[in-house]
Structure 1
Amino acid sequence: MTELDRRSFLGRGLTTAGGVLASGIAIETLTAHASWADAGRPAADPHQVGYGPLRRTPARNTGEELLALPAGFSYVVLGRTGTPMSDGVATPIAHDGMAAFPGTRRHTARLIRNHEVRTTPGSPVGRVHVEGSRRYDELGVAGTTTLEVDLRSGEVLRHFVSLNGTIVNCAGGMMAHRRGWLTCEETTAGPNQGWTRKHGYIFEVPLDGPEPGRPAPSQPLTAMGRFSHEAVAVDPRTGYVHETEDESGRPAGFYRFRPRDPRDLAAGGVLEMLKVKGARNYDCREGQRMGARLPVEWVTIDDPDPDLENGALTCTEQGLEKGGAKFNRLEGCWYGDDSIFFNSTSGGDAKNGDAPGADGYVEGYGQVWRYIPGRRDGGTLVLVYESPGRKELDSPDNLVFTPRGGIVLCEDDAGSADADPHPLAPGLVNVNRLIALDPRRGEPFEFAVNVADDSEFAGACFSPDGSVLFVNQLGNTASLDPPGRTYAIRGPWQRGPL
């Protein structure tokens, strides 16, 4: 980490009305400029926000205007829904969480991509399916695909199903030591909903092993919890896996899994929920102050694989009974700067106008949290950003900590009451963007706009060499229109904070 990375998101103590991370921005900006100079990077233009204004930009390989980007940035389209893959399977629908790993050849990267397919059991529409493979649920419709990409040309060298037999694979995270991908089911459906097995689990997709026509066996890691999973992030010092829960309409928890063996998650371990020390059921959803440091402890989930079909308490209910903290719709999760960063899609005091949830909570425009693991205690929780309104940030979902110490947030505008048009996307009512948090200024800025349709961005991740930002456009989760797409974005990253 550079000094810029280490100073990026803490050390600012007060909230401002404009939604910047906290106070002392001028001093912090000067310090950051000095750090960039020390690192051999150009200092930021003090008058430029992010990378400058956006403009509608055609894809290099198709000519379609699908994104708006800053000047100097370009993109190609990869893995569009319906494209035949190397294993003969058509690229599935619903492109969601994703990570990038070193490829098998020089100047390549390997992407492992989730598909959040939400069709009925066994439906053939956009299904992730390889006949004869070792599938957890024979009727499963979702899973993952793997793409080997040439970083210079953007060409897909090969792509194939790497896991199937699961459902609603939303997000996930890298395994310890980057050995592969942990893919998560965002559901607790099971036999009562027509599936042959219980769902709501995490599955391993090894980096090495799956090949075209030979996906990885899909076996659930039941000790890591059965709940509506979103994303995970591993602390490389301890091997602890931090997990977010995307519950809609009721409180959600932030979890960690302490494995017996970080290299063998199937060997079991202990699942815990975050609790703010000295406060029972502390409500993180509203009334928070950016920069405040909250001491953390952890409560054990006694039954991580509850029999929900027969009325067992959910993991969330177990954690809240022991005083666990309440969040709203926890989504993206990523390790960076010796911390775990994660989103609350609908947290915050500025409200989006939607109807209250089951417990009366009224949704906000979103929060970004930082959990700093403790070496001698349970750690510290810090709210690093809370959106003051839809123009700044509307419903953050997946996130990634960038090579230069910033954060990129994928919007998923799920609000129904507050229309969200954009001048670069005429005709669209709910427009989704990539919003970045600038560690130099402590402010959010637009980096990209989806001008093609109203589906969310997802799966943002940088290639291992930092030259390419990969990101998905979800498309439809139950039909072929609009299609899912993966973008590979190149440009003058050194000109700004990402």
Structure 2
Amino acid sequence: MSISRRHFLTLAGASATSSFLLAGLESLYSESGARSLVKSPKVNGYGALVKDPKGILDLPAGFRYKIVSQSGKQMSDGTVTPSNYDGMAAFAGKNGSKILVRNHELRLTDQSRVIAALDRMYDPNCKGGTTTLTLDRDRQLTKEYVSLAGTSVNCSGGTTPWGTWISCEENTAMPGMSDPGKGTVTKPHGYNFEVPINSQTPVVPVPLVAMGRFRHEAISIDPRTGIVYQTEDDPTGLFYRFMPKQPGKLAAGGILEALKIVKKPQVNTNQNFPLRQKFAVEWVRIEEPNPAENTVRMEGFTKGAAQFMRGEGICYTNGSFYFTCTQGGNVLPNAPLRVGEEARGNGQIWKYTPGKTAKNGGSIELFLEPNDPNIVDLPDNITVAPNGHLITCEDGKGEQRLIGITPKGGVYTFARNARDRSEFAGACFTPDGQTMFVNIYDPGITVAIWGNWARV
């Protein structure tokens, strides 16, 4: 082939013939051994991407963007904006304003750090946390300040129905442990932390211990029941639910459980799992959610829980939860590998639908597994667009894209990082559906994107 399949997929949205071209891709991918679901003849996305003359972000015609924040700049509280922009959420403020809460995935080895007074830092040796941004109705930044400090490797998280942000630590270091190689932590890590959106000062950090101590990635809450679903970024990670004693008060404790697929105890879903088949699930209780060692997933697996290959982003729509497994999927023959690299898939997206009651475990299915980096390359954060499509951020090896996925599994490219090979992260929409905000990880920038989201 004279052009890559990825480039061909992007070009396919450029003309009236795109329906025919995309329909024909099914046979093209099947020849390479992929199990793609790019089958819908109406998957045109928003059309071909337009090259950005500023070299930052390629978008479809009719969409615009602006940079609203950059790492290294002075913030309203006098500190410098930290780097490593990761998970993020958007909230409605007063008089048409918007509020963003943004994670900073910082380790002990990073030069950048989130700075706050010692009495507002969970662990003074740790550099991660969150910053909060307020923007006016014209998407102009008006304030930017630290809102959580002293945490470690704040990867993603999720919003609550009561209007707060849950920031997740993807690090289970214990006091005295290095993270890695430089310095030591002074407190246990691997927790979730709740961040209010209206406070003008950093929150006093309170670890949500009952939600588990493991390599947290993201959470999403069922608005009907208050049950919290959680992903774990580990090659043998599990999928969890947390049932709070008091919905809306996560610090009050609750029960942590892990998903088990009925009649498939201890199944590893990484490879050779059937596509688009629903499986009944049940939940096994985690008796020790806060162990001294990183053993939560081991306890769950011993009791029959299913393993997922690096669970990352999760979102809720139309009664179901969609979550990504960044390195799940069958490994293609002759897939190129870097020196010392282990073979791994290019990513999966799973769909979990809760039952009508907590005792009815619900069902799970493998929704998408392209097995081709030209279609999807390591999906990470995920959100829902106003038109009902999923938007996932790539954290792949080559060019980085925002990938759109239709309810039927059609795939298209929505945006491309034209600046560098840094990953996209934190894609989220304002409650009014007018603006998407997304981060480019490092050097960190946050951009606002707007246009006709209904045009597909």
TM > 0.5 fold call:
yes
Question: Aligned partners of 2:340 and 2:190: how far apart in 1?
Answer: 22
Amino acid in the other structure paired with 1:149:
L
TM-fit CA distance, 1:90? 0.8
**CA contact 2:424–2:440 (8 Å) conserved in 1:** yes
Residue 85 (structure 2) aligned to one of 95, 102, 105: 95
The alignment of Structure 1 onto Structure 2 pairs a total of residues equal to: 416
**CA contact 2:132–2:197 (8 Å) conserved in 1:** no
Amino acid in the other structure paired with 1:437:
I
Query: How do residues 14-163 of structure 1 correspond to structure 2 at under 5 angstroms?
Result: 17=30, 20-21=36-37, 25=40, 46=42, 49-58=44-53, 64-103=54-93, 105-120=94-109, 125-152=111-138, 154-163=139-148
Query: Does 2:331 match 1:343?
Result: no
3-state secondary structure, aligned to 2:52: strand
Query: Does 2:207 match 1:223?
Result: no
Query: How do residues 272-421 of structure 1 correspond to structure 2 at under 5 angstroms?
Result: 272-308=257-293, 314-351=295-332, 353-354=336-337, 362-376=343-357, 377-413=360-396
What is residue 444 of structure 1 aligned with on the other side?
A: 411
3-state secondary structure, aligned to 2:120: coil
The RMSD of aligned alpha carbons is 2.1
What is residue 452 of structure 2 aligned with on the other side?
A: 492
Question: Aligned partners of 1:235 and 1:357: how far apart in 2?
Answer: 41
**CA contact 1:185–1:230 (8 Å) conserved in 2:** yes
1:353-395, CA deviations, whole angstroms, 9 ceiling, x for partnerless residues? 558999xx94111111110000141010011111230110000
**CA contact 2:329–2:369 (8 Å) conserved in 1:** yes
**CA contact 1:21–1:290 (8 Å) conserved in 2:** no
**CA contact 2:386–2:453 (8 Å) conserved in 1:** no
**CA contact 2:108–2:125 (8 Å) conserved in 1:** no
3-state secondary structure, aligned to 2:454: helix
TM-fit CA distance, 1:49? 1.3
Amino acid in the other structure paired with 2:204:
P
Question: Aligned partners of 1:94 and 1:378: how far apart in 2?
Answer: 37
**CA contact 2:258–2:300 (8 Å) conserved in 1:** yes
TM-fit CA distance, 1:19? 5.0
3-state secondary structure, aligned to 1:160: strand
3-state secondary structure, aligned to 1:316: helix
TM-fit CA distance, 1:130? 1.4
Question: Aligned partners of 1:383 and 1:364: how far apart in 2?
Answer: 14
TM-fit CA distance, 1:110? 0.5
Amino acid in the other structure paired with 1:433:
R
1:283-328, CA deviations, whole angstroms, 9 ceiling, x for partnerless residues? 21111232100100011111111102xxxx6111101100110110
What is residue 206 of structure 1 aligned with on the other side?
A: 196
Question: Aligned partners of 1:133 and 1:460: how far apart in 2?
Answer: 31
Question: Aligned partners of 2:248 and 2:418: how far apart in 1?
Answer: 42
Question: Aligned partners of 2:238 and 2:219: how far apart in 1?
Answer: 13
**CA contact 1:355–1:362 (8 Å) conserved in 2:** no
3-state secondary structure, aligned to 2:414: strand
Amino acid in the other structure paired with 2:219:
V
TM-fit CA distance, 1:494? 2.1
Go from structure 1 to structure 2 and tell me whether the alpha carbon gap of 1:320 and 1:274 turns closer, same or farther (over 3 Å shift).
Answer: same
**CA contact 2:118–2:124 (8 Å) conserved in 1:** no
Residue 472 (structure 1) aligned to one of 415, 432, 439: 439
Amino acid in the other structure paired with 1:459:
G
Question: Aligned partners of 1:89 and 1:242: how far apart in 2?
Answer: 34
**CA contact 2:322–2:349 (8 Å) conserved in 1:** yes
What is residue 8 of structure 2 aligned with on the other side?
A: none
Question: Aligned partners of 2:164 and 2:124: how far apart in 1?
Answer: 24
Question: Aligned partners of 1:151 and 1:337: how far apart in 2?
Answer: 28
Question: Aligned partners of 2:336 and 2:311: how far apart in 1?
Answer: 19
3-state secondary structure, aligned to 2:419: coil
TM-fit CA distance, 1:151? 3.9
1:69-105, CA deviations, whole angstroms, 9 ceiling, x for partnerless residues? 11111111121001111111111010000011101x2
TM-fit CA distance, 1:404? 1.5
Go from structure 1 to structure 2 and tell me whether the alpha carbon gap of 1:127 and 1:54 turns closer, same or farther (over 3 Å shift).
Answer: same
Question: Aligned partners of 2:37 and 2:319: how far apart in 1?
Answer: 19
Residue 461 (structure 1) aligned to one of 422, 428, 436: 428
Query: Does 2:260 match 1:265?
Result: no
Amino acid in the other structure paired with 2:126:
G
1:310-348, CA deviations, whole angstroms, 9 ceiling, x for partnerless residues? xxx611110110011011011001111111110000111
Residue 434 (structure 1) aligned to one of 360, 382, 402: 402
**CA contact 1:22–1:291 (8 Å) conserved in 2:** no
Q: Percent identity?
A: 43
**CA contact 1:433–1:448 (8 Å) conserved in 2:** yes
Amino acid in the other structure paired with 1:240:
I
Question: Aligned partners of 1:21 and 1:158: how far apart in 2?
Answer: 43
Question: Aligned partners of 2:366 and 2:440: how far apart in 1?
Answer: 28
TM-fit CA distance, 1:190? 2.3
3-state secondary structure, aligned to 1:106: helix
TM-score by length of 1: 0.80
**CA contact 1:99–1:112 (8 Å) conserved in 2:** yes
**CA contact 1:101–1:178 (8 Å) conserved in 2:** no
Go from structure 1 to structure 2 and tell me whether the alpha carbon gap of 1:19 and 1:405 turns closer, same or farther (over 3 Å shift).
Answer: farther
TM-score by length of 2: 0.87
Question: Aligned partners of 2:56 and 2:203: how far apart in 1?
Answer: 33
Residue 172 (structure 2) aligned to one of 166, 188, 192: 188
**CA contact 1:223–1:271 (8 Å) conserved in 2:** yes
Go from structure 1 to structure 2 and tell me whether the alpha carbon gap of 1:301 and 1:222 turns closer, same or farther (over 3 Å shift).
Answer: same
TM-fit CA distance, 1:119? 3.2
Structure 2 unaligned residues grouped into runs of 5+:
1-25, 179-183
Structure 1 unaligned residues grouped into runs of 5+:
1-14, 27-45, 59-63, 416-429, 476-482
**CA contact 2:367–2:409 (8 Å) conserved in 1:** no
